[in-house]
Structures are given as structure tokens and as C-alpha cells.
Amino acid sequence: MRHRRLYVIGAWLLLVAVASVVATRARYTADLSAFLPTAPTAAQRFLVQQLRDGLASRLILIDVEGADVSVRATLSRGLAARLRTQPAFRSVLNGEAGGSGNDRSFLFEHRYLLSEQVTAGRFAVPGLTAAISEGIDLLASPIGMLAKQLFTHDPTGESLQVLAQLEQSTTAPESLDGVWVSRDHHRTLLIAGTMASGSDADAQARAIDAIRAAFKAAQRDAGGTAAAAVLRLTGPGVFAAEARATITHEVVRLTVVSSLLIATLLLLVYRSIPLLLFGMLPVVSGALAGIAAVALRFGVVHGVTLGFGVTLIGEAVDYSIYLFIQARHGTGRNAEHVHWTRTLWPTIRLGMLTSICGFASLLPSGFPGLAQLGLYSITGLLAAGLVTRFVIPELMRSDLAPVTVMPIGRIFSRVLIPLRGMRRWLWLVAVLAVLVLYVQRERLWNHELAALSPVSAAAQQLDGDLRAELGAPDVRSMVVLAGDDEQAVLRAAESLAATLDTLVARGVIAGYQTPSRYLPSVATQLARQASLPARDELLQRLAAAVATLPVRLDRLQPFLDDVARARTAAPLLPKDLSVTSLAAGLDALLVRQSGHWYALLPLQASRAGAATIDVDRVAQAVRGTGTPGVEAVVLDLKRESDALYAGYLNEALRLSLIGFAAIILLLAVSLRSLTQLARVIAPLVLAVLAVLLGFALAGRALNILHLIGLLLVIAVGSNYALFFARQLPDDDAGQSVRMLSSLAVANLSTVIAFGVLAFSTVPVLSALGTTVAPGALLALLFAAVLSRGAMPAPGVR
């Protein structure tokens, strides 16, 4: 016996130590995309990847308000200049033509490879005449005196054409004093692109700090009223960093609050600090085991999973409550132990297995977040149960004062007696719930992924406003071209441009961006080179072309030189753009990801129409223009991600139902009686229906976390129902009062834990809380009201 005690405690300590080491070395994340499904198709994988790491995820939108316009312009320039020197930022845009000197000379030098107008026809005599007379018109124009500097090199205006092509790719906001401002001029706007992806919350948090510090420094430099200006940031990365901070903060706060409340409750009940500490052992062991299991299986632990630790307190603490309160006061350690292992433990074990059955259904979920919750709960409950069963009895000394909590049991039974009179009306609750749920079936579930977002409505509003002001960066709809090599997708993008141009002409879309505007494919560049005539030939044609024009041919020598040079220049490749700010634009639209090349062609919604694009019409048009070896997909990011989420919501529903079926099967096998089974299941089903009824009446749409909450209601409630369904000897009134007491305390602790969670500002956590707290209470009440056994009279002890 002495040896057994040593082994049990030793093994437990060892496992706790190992779990602690694993838990402290685990990587923690609060990236909401853990709740994004692992996508089944290549296009959806690309989509999820884009949401996590794509260009849009890397943008931080910066808004400066307060002070006056010119002070804000100074701040904008100061902030941008500081950020541009930092390697963490890939680009900082504020409307200044920063680095545009480089861009202009690059575009000018390579104009004959980049201009879409360069064709054989343009360099024949009539084409030259037309182009050059247009050039003369430009000389007559208000900017003519500037254009004349270009004219001798570029009489056909190719460099202006190249600028105009790029102009189509960007929809810049209005500028004041040379920097971007909102339409009402009250906001000065900047966009910072980070090197790190938006889902890298650590890097995003550092980038945010860097922006704030640079802004402070710019304020100090500007002096005067600059101090009154306010900086506001938004964007996916900002959300990720803020979400993590919020979740971390909430998890700590909620854990502390509910731990304190439950500890106070247990202290009042037990009136013994050692018992309280023993009661916490299963909880702490379970939480550590759960974290360690998740860390080992998934590599990272999500913050929300930790938040779930709070909920584990709700169920795991129950085990020790049952042990401490229901254990008969024996005449020594052995008597008590025998009663515990023979009569109580099987019921607790069945309740625990029931819960595990429920959570096991989450394991195969495509949502990594849900699979984590499932594994965490299973491991946590198993560890808590085993510690309660084997470790605590070994640790507890026989001379511990027995717990007497008769008042709670008596109060509870006093409440129950009138309630049991209403038993026959309970079916009304079920009928009403089924009716309401049927009527509301369309609105019952929230199918939008945004429902899980921890970002506040105000922050989303600011984000929406800034996006609207800044134009393009909200890439909601796009055509994605996927292929095995860079040039193939560039060629496909070029051939798609004609299709998209007709859609623009028909007003289906307002415009689009394409990587081929930044960099044409090598094939296209070679074709343009081939259409440039040799020097002597060009001179002859030029002489004929300007014969009717007032141009002095001898002054156009630089033009002849430049064309001759362009004919033999090497075609441009992506790396050649790296000296310019154009590289950022190209990088965003031409992406290499896991061995494949993707060209992104973001679509702009038609101005006349609403904010959305008729994606089906675009898809139809795109289908007609296949390029061999390149797959074209039209994506509506919001529609796709909502569709993915809806798919996984359905999957989770299906899995939960399977879990429920498994629970019924488990109970049927262990109870071996249909009536007993019905008695255990009925209060659980009633509780679930009543909670659903409450949400439906309150008009709250349910998300995937509410579903998990319902599963928890069944898991926790099954313990109550099993205790009530147990055949107690009728004469043992004392035992049944003790049972009532333990259930009341266990239920109170659960309601406290989840009730605290309900006040969380993180939707994922509050969804759990608002479901489980009322659900657990109702499950206990329904189980008690439906139980057949005699209620102990209030006076019995």
C-alpha cells in the first residue's frame, strides 16, 4: 500500500513536470486564422494563404487627425521619412512622389519595351505621322514647355503612355500639400506595407510600436500644434496584434476572476484551505496536460484554447466536489475510499466518458481551432478525472475533517419540491422551442466568418472608412492565374486583359490591376522590339512622316539613338524593377508560393453599381480565355471565406450530432435500460432546446462556438443527470442530501466560470459563456425535476 502510494504520486508529479516543461516551451498564437479552416481545394488554400500572408494582410492604414492640414502634412512627411529607413517596412506611401526620380528614369529608359502602343503599325510612316502630330499638340498644351524636353527623345510620346498605363493601376486619394488626405480633408492618410505577414502578430506588434514611436518623433520635430494631432492605425496586422493583446488580457483576467470566485465558493463550502487546494489539483493538472497535448500535436497553442482553460475549471472542479461532499464519513481512510471507488467513481467516470465522447467529435474538424479545443478538453478532463480518482485519495490524509454542507442540499431540495410539481408542463418547453426554432430556422445560424472576429464594431468602421478613402487596397474580388512558371502566368495575364477590357467597357467592372502593366512578359517585350525598325529604315520613315509636319528632322537624332538602343536591349525581368518603387506593385500582384506562380488581377467594382461585382459574369467571361498550363479562378474573398466557414459550420454540426449519438450509445451500453437512458437524456435535450429557444427569442444568431457550448452543456449536464438517475436506496436520505449538495456546488461553480466568460469582449469566449452558464443551470434543474427518486424532506439529515 505504501509502495502504491509512492508510485502513484511519483508518476503524477513526473507527468505534471513534463507537461509544465512542454507548456512553458510551447508557442502561443492568437491569430484568428486558426479558426480559418484548412482549405480543401488549391484555390481555397491560396485564398486562406492570401488572407493570412497576402499583400492585403501586410497593409497598415494610418490616419492622422487633429491639428491643421499643413501641420498634418509635415507630420505625414516626417513619419514616412522615418519609416522608410526601417527594414521592417517594405513600402510607405503617403502621396509624396518618393523615389519617383528613379521610377521616371526607369520608365523613360525602357519605354519601348513597356508601352502597349509599340506595334509595327505605329512605326510605319502613317503611324509615325499620327503619333508625332499628337506630340506637337502636346507641345502646344499647357505642359508643352516641359514636354519639349522629352520631344527630341520621344516624339511619339511612349513615356507618357507608360505613365498613363501605371496610372490605371492606382487609384490614389486626393492630395493636399502633396500628401494624401480624406475627401473631407479632416484626415491625413498613409499606407505602410510591412515585410512580415499580417498573421505574424509579434512582427505586427513591433511594426505598430515603430509607427507610434516615429509619429511621436515627427510630432516633436514639428513642434507647435503638432502635439494635438492624433494617430490611428488599422488593418489586418493591427487587428491581429490587438486581438492577441485582447485575448491574452481577457484570458488572464477571466481566469483570475473565475478562479477567485470559485475558490471563495469552495472555501465557504469546505471551510478548509487544504481541501480547497486538493480540489484545485485536478483542474491545474488537467489544464497543464491539455496545453501540453495541444502543443505536442499542433505545434502552436491558440489563445482561445487557453481561454477554454477557464471552462475546464467549470467541469474538472466538479469531480473533486463530488468526491469531497458525497464521500461518506467513514471510520477511517479505507472505508471512505471503498465507498468512493465502488459507488461514486463509476458515475463520475461515466459522466467523464460522456464528455470525452462529445469532445472527441471535434477532433476530426477541419478547423484547427476546434480540433485544438477538442484535444485540450479530452486530455484535460481525462487528466482531471484520473487525478481525482487515483492521486487525491492517496494524497489526502485520513484525519481531514469531513465536509458537511447539508444546508445547501436542504435549500436545493426545498426549491425543487414545488418545481417537481410542474414536471408535467415541461414538454411545453420542448414543443415551444421546436416551434420557434423551426420558424426561425433560416436565421438561426450566422454564416459569416466575421461573427468570430474579436475586432470591435468601431474598429471595423474605422477600417472600412479608411479603405474607402484610400481606394484600391481592399482586394475583395480578383482573378487568380496559377501556373508553373512566371512567364506563363504573365502571358496569361496579358491575354486576359483583353477580356477584362470588354468587361470594363460593358460596365461590369470599373477597372482592374494586372502585373503585366508593371512588367510585360518576355514574349511581349520581344514582339515590341521586333516591331521597331532598324536605324536607317527608321530615318527614312521618319523623314517621310514629318515631311508634312513643322518638325525639324535634324533635331530628332536622340530619338533615332534611343530606338536603336531599345532594339538590342535585354528584356526586362522582375529583378530589374527592384531599383524602383514599382517592385512593390509587382510583388503584390505576381506571387510565388510553394513552387507555383500566381498572378493576381484585383477587380474594381463598377462605380455606377453597388460595391459588389457580379463575380459570376466575370467568371463566365474568364472561362472563355484559357491559356494552356495556367488555371484561372475568379475569387470573391468574402463570399469564398463565408462559404468555407458555412461549410465548416455544417461539418461541426454533423460532428456534434455524431458526438451526441456516441454519447447516447455509451449511456445505453452502460445503463442497460431504455428508461434509465431516457431519464438521463431528456433533461439534457430539454436544456439544449431551452438555451436555443432563448437565443432565438433574443434574436441572437448562433456561431460555431455556441455549438461547442451546447456540447459542453451535454457534457456537464450528463454528470447531473447520471447522479439523479442513479438508484439510491430509499432509506439513505443522508446520502441523497449529500448528492444534492454536491450537485448544487458543482453547478454553482460551473455557472460562475461560464458566467464570467459571458462578459468577455472576445465574441468566441462570450458565445461559450452565454451558452453554457444558463445551459448548465437548466440541465441541473431539469434533471432534478424529472428524477424519479424520492426527494429528501427538508428536515432530514
Partner 1 sequence: MSAPWHGHPRGQLAPRLALACGLLSMVASLHCAAADISLQQLMQQLAARRHAHASFVERKSLAVLKRTLESSGELIYEAPDRLLKRTLKPKAETLQLENGMLSAQRGARTYRMALRDSPDMAPFIDTIRATLAGEMPTLQRTYELEFRSTGGNWTLLMVPREPQLARVFARIRIDGAGDLLREVIIDTADGDRSVMTIRDIVDP
- Nearest CA to 14 out of 289, 202, 268, 212 is that of 289
Residue from 176, 210, 363, 539 in contact with partner 1 (CB under 8 A): 176
Letters for 54-83 (x = contact with partner 1 by CB under 8 A, - = none) are ------------------------------
In this structure, what C-alpha cell is assigned to residue 116?
Answer: 502597349
Q: How, if at all, do strands 630-636 and 477-483 pair? A: antiparallel
Cell triple for 743? 450537485
CB nearer to partner 1: pick between 100 and 650: 100
Residue 410's contacts (CB-CB under 8 Å, 6 or more residues apart) are 737, 792, 794, 795
Q: Is residue 137 at the binding interface for partner 1, with CB under 8 A as the rule?
A: yes
> Which range touches partner 1 (CB under 8 A), out of 7-15, 135-143, 517-525, 697-705?
135-143
- List Cβ<8 Å contacts ≥24 apart for 436-443: 436/693, 436/696, 436/697, 437/689, 437/692, 437/693, 437/696, 440/696, 443/701
Per CB under 8 A, 505 contacts partner 1 = no
Question: Which stretch, 166-174, 290-298, 434-442, 566-574, contacts partner 1 (CB under 8 A)?
Answer: 166-174
Q: What is the residue whose three cell numbers read 474605422?
A: 462
- Of 141, 398, 578, 673, the one binding partner 1 (CB under 8 A) is 141
Residue (of 221, 542, 269, 563) closest to 407 by Cα position? 269
Q: Of 9, 42, 81, 139, which one interacts with partner 1 (CB under 8 A)? A: 139
Pairing of strands 27-29, 300-302: parallel
Cα(100)–Cα(66) distance, integer angstroms: 29
Whether the CB-CB separation of 714 and 776 falls below 8 Å is answered with no
96: contact with partner 1 by CB under 8 A: yes
Between 63 and 96, CB nearer to partner 1: 96
Candidates 162-170, 328-336, 521-529, 563-571: pick the segment binding partner 1 (CB under 8 A). Answer: 162-170
Which one of the spans 96-104, 210-218, 584-592, 641-649 is the region binding partner 1 (CB under 8 A)? 96-104
Contact status, residue 487 vs residue 628, Cβ threshold 8 Å = no
* Residue bearing cell 475627401: 183
106 touches partner 1 by CB under 8 A: no
Minimum distance, C-beta of residue 225 to partner 1, in the bound complex (Å): 19
7 burial class (0-12, 13-18, 19+ CB within 10 angstroms)?
exposed
Which residues between 344 and 373 bind partner 1 (CB under 8 A)?
Answer: none
Applying CB under 8 A, among 138, 600, 722, 767 the residue interacting with partner 1 is 138
Part in contact with partner 1 (CB under 8 A); list of ranges 175-183, 304-312, 494-502, 632-640: 175-183
Beta bridge partners of 590: 599
Binding partner 1 by CB under 8 A: which of 85, 149, 548, 727?
A: 149
In the list 20, 86, 152, 625, the residue contacting partner 1 (rule: CB under 8 A) is 152
Residue 391 carries which DSSP code? I
387: which DSSP letter? Answer: I
621 near 501, Cβ under 8 Å? Answer: no
Q: What angle do CA 254, 260, 261 make, to 5 degrees?
A: 90
Least distance (Å) between residue 126 CB and partner 1: 20
Task: Report helix angle 535-546 to 125-140, nearest 10.
Answer: 60
Q: What is the DSSP string of 304-363?
A: HHHHHHHHHHHHHHHHHHHHHHHS---SSHHHHHHHIIIIIHHHHHHHHHHHHHHHHTTT
Q: Which one of the spans 107-115, 134-142, 278-286, 465-473 is the region binding partner 1 (CB under 8 A)?
A: 134-142
Choosing from 68, 167, 484, 732, the residue that interacts with partner 1 (CB under 8 A) is: 167
Give me the least distance between CB of 526 and partner 1, in Å please.
28
Choice between 167 and 221, CB closer to partner 1: 167
Phi, psi of 580 (to 5 degrees): -115, 170
Q: Select the residue interacting with partner 1 from 175, 440, 531, 581 (CB under 8 A).
A: 175
For the bound state, the minimum distance from the C-beta of residue 172 to partner 1, rounded and expressed in Å, comes to 7
- Does 340 participate in binding partner 1 (rule CB under 8 A)? no
Nearer CB in complex with partner 1: 69/572: 69
Cα–Cα distance, 110 to 165 (Å, whole number) = 14
Is beta strand 477-483 parallel, antiparallel or unpaired with respect to 596-605? antiparallel
Query: Length of the chain, please?
Result: 797
Q: Taking the chain, what is the end-to-end CA distance rounded to the nearest angstrom?
A: 35
Least distance from C-beta 122 to partner 1, angstroms? 18
Q: Which three cell numbers stand for residue 730?
A: 430509499
What part of residues 536-595 is at the interface with partner 1 (CB under 8 A)?
A: 550-552, 555-556
Choices 15-23, 140-148, 711-719, 729-737; region in contact with partner 1 by CB under 8 A: 140-148
Identify the residue among 97, 213, 230, 793 touching partner 1 (CB under 8 A): 97
Least gap, CB of 705 to partner 1 (angstroms): 48
Select the residue interacting with partner 1 from 13, 146, 435, 665 (CB under 8 A): 146
| Contact between 140 and partner 1 per CB under 8 A | yes
With CB under 8 A as the contact rule, the residue among 65, 109, 116, 177 that binds partner 1 is 177
Q: From the list 3, 27, 145, 729, which residue makes contact with partner 1 (rule: CB under 8 A)?
A: 145
Which listed range, 91-99, 191-199, 323-331, 347-355, lies at the site for partner 1 (CB under 8 A)?
91-99
Q: Is 172 in the site for partner 1 (CB under 8 A)?
A: yes
Q: How far is the CB of 580 from partner 1 (least distance, A)?
A: 16
Cβ proximity to partner 1: between 138 and 500 the closer is: 138
Cell of 58: 501586410
Minimum CB separation from partner 1 for residue 100, in Å? 7
Closest separation between CB of residue 97 and partner 1, Å? 4
Q: How many CB atoms lie within 10 A of CB 552?
A: 9
Q: From the list 124, 136, 572, 701, which residue makes contact with partner 1 (rule: CB under 8 A)?
A: 136
142, 332, 628, 699: which one binds partner 1 (CB under 8 A): 142
| 467 and 605 Cβ atoms separated by less than 8 Å | no
Place of cell 523623314: 543
Work out whether 143 is an interface residue with partner 1 (CB under 8 A).
yes
Q: x-or-dash pattern for partner 1, window 254-273, by CB under 8 A? A: --------------------
501: Cβ contacts below 8 Å, ≥ 6 apart = none
Write the DSSP symbol of residue 571: P
Residues touching partner 1, count (CB under 8 A): 34
Give yes or no for a contact between 579 and 106, defined as CB atoms under 8 angstroms apart: yes
Segment interacting with partner 1, rule: CB under 8 A, options 167-175, 396-404, 613-621, 702-710: 167-175
CB 199 within 8 Å of CB 33:
yes
Count CB-CB contacts under 10 A for residue 645. Answer: 23
Q: Three-state SS for 722? A: helix
Span of 137-145, 260-268, 353-361, 751-759 interacting with partner 1 by CB under 8 A: 137-145
Smallest CA-to-CA distance from 155 within 558, 540, 529, 533 is with 558
Closer residue to partner 1 in complex, CB, 556/704: 556
148: contact with partner 1 by CB under 8 A: yes
Stretch near partner 1 under the rule CB under 8 A, chosen from 177-185, 402-410, 437-445, 537-545: 177-185
Residue whose C-alpha is closest to residue 632's, from 491, 472, 523: 491
Q: Rule CB under 8 A: which residues touch partner 1?
A: 95-97, 100, 136-146, 148-149, 151-152, 163-164, 167, 172, 174-179, 550-552, 555-556
